[in-house]
Amino acid sequence: MSLDLKIIAAVAENRVIGRYGGIPWDLPGDLIRFQRLTSGKPVIMGRRTFDSIHKRLRRPLPNRDNIVLTRNREFDSAGIFLVYSFEEALNIASDLNDEACVIGGSTLYGLALESPLTRSMAITEVHKEFYGDAFFPEFGDEWEETHREYLAYVNREGEEIRYSFVDYKG
């Protein structure tokens, strides 16, 4: 299979990536980066990640082939590729493009970290701890940091949130 997988995630200092089916922070710069990195490529996600996107947008992510992995055989939604295994998701992504992005959640990130097809990660490190119920898995030092950009954003409450765009090669 000829597929180059990239993990894309925003991760708090305590490894939190989600809370109650959403993202516990508001970083417009991260969303712009996410759109730039994923546009025109297949995105592989779990059903709960899809649910959070669909709740906000009322549709799948535009300008991307949305591949949704679920164990729930009753689940269905228009405009997506529905799969029941990570291997099936990889096969569909490979048929569509030579690159694909894994965009969450926790279980899929874990599967992608174990896959030899995953060669890069684009991580937004949020330099703050947040309460959450979904976490990014630990990863080893076989991942080499290749780029880091420091940023800050002042949210609606006037609170400054510092974060970094970090790229890794594996």
pLDDT at residue 29 in the model: 96
Strand partners, 16: 135
- What contacts 34, CB < 8 A, 6 or more positions away? 8, 10, 103
Q: What whole-number distance in Å separates Cα of residue 63 and Cα of residue 41?
A: 8
> Looking at the predicted structure, is the pLDDT value of residue 2 above 90?
no
The full set of domains in the chain, from first to last, is 4-169 (3.40.430.10)
Q: What whole-number distance in Å separates Cα of residue 76 and Cα of residue 168?
A: 34
> Looking at the predicted structure, is the pLDDT value of residue 1 above 80?
no
Tens of pLDDT, residues 51-98: 999 888 889 999 999 999 999 888 888 889 999 999 999 999 999 999
Tens of pLDDT, residues 116-163: 999 999 999 999 999 999 999 999 999 999 999 999 999 889 999 999
